[in-house]
């Protein structure tokens, strides 16, 4: 416990960075993922291939490599810190998985919903936004929940590029205190502080939507 007290401010700083990176990446990947999911279900062949290539690229490359790419290569052109590089990589990587979840959600909605909306005079965009996506997200929530929890845990990638997150601070505390085990247990608990309420909230949302359906 003294390890915890002595390094409290360090852990808190790490926790803050992890939380911040998670929130940025969560919002960013949800927006990006939805855009690329929609691209994959349009009639335009170009949009479909762009969406498909994007998803395949970012889903099939290890997150560490994407992170290092931004930290070591892109940073030569556009200055960015490890935190920024890691958060961008986390956003892109997660967005590919979210695109797949949202796409599956969209495809599960019967075609009549889109036809009805288009025949009613709505544009493709309006129909997507008001009719299709709200229904698709409902279907996709369990899978999106998994992606979000993975995202929080995957944010530990920031440690590899000096991203000041929980894992980064944990590595330093572990190395300086020589008590690796206790340190990582504390770090693990901090992650639980984010992931447990998140899982719980998603379950709650699932129940609520089931009741409405």
Give the residues lining the site for another protein (CB under 8 A).
68, 71-73, 75-76, 79, 81-82, 112-113, 115-123, 126, 130-131, 134-135, 138, 159-162, 168, 171-172, 174-176, 178, 180-182, 185, 188-189, 192, 196, 200, 204, 207, 213
Would you say 101 and 147 are in contact if contact means Cβ atoms under 8 Å apart?
Answer: yes
Per DSSP, the chain holds a count of helices (H) and strands (E) of: 11, 0
Least distance to another protein, CB of residue 77, Å:
10
Q: How far is the CB of 149 from another protein (least distance, A)?
A: 13
Q: Output DSSP code: residue 155.
A: G
Q: How far is the CB of 85 from another protein (least distance, A)?
A: 9
Q: H helices of 61-81, where?
A: 63-68, 75-77
Q: How far is the CB of 73 from another protein (least distance, A)?
A: 7
CA 42 to each of CA 92, 129, 206: distance values in angstroms, whole numbers, following the listed order: 21, 14, 28
Residue number with CB closer to another protein (53 or 192): 192
Q: Which is nearer to another protein, 30 or 174 (CB)?
A: 174
Residue closer to another protein (CB basis): 9 or 121: 121
Q: Is 35 exposed, middle or buried (0-12, 13-18, 19+ CB in 10 A)?
A: middle
């Amino acid at each position: 416990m003294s390890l915890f007290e002595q390094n409290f401010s360090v852990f808190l700083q790490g926790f803050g960075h992890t939380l911040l990176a998670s929130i940025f990446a969560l919002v960013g990947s949800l927006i990006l993922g939805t855009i690329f999911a929609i691209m994959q279900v349009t009639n335009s062949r170009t949009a479909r291939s762009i969406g498909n290539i994007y998803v395949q690229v970012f889903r099939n490359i290890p997150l560490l490599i994407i992170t290092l790419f931004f930290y070591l290569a892109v940073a030569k052109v556009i200055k960015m810190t490890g935190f920024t590089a890691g958060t961008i990589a986390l956003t892109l990587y997660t967005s590919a998985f979210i695109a797949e979840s949202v796409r599956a959600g969209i495809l599960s909605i019967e075609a009549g919903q889109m036809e009805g909306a288009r025949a009613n005079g709505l544009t493709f965009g309006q129909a997507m936004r008001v009719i299709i996506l709200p229904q698709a997200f409902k279907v996709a929530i369990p899978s999106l929940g998994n992606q979000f929890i993975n995202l929080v845990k995957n944010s530990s990638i920031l440690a590899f590029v000096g991203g000041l997150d929980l894992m980064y601070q944990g590595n330093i505390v572990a190395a300086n205190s020589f008590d690796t085990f206790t340190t990582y247990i504390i770090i693990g608990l901090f992650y639980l502080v984010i992931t447990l309420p998140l899982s719980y909230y998603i379950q709650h949302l699932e129940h609520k939507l089931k009741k409405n359906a």
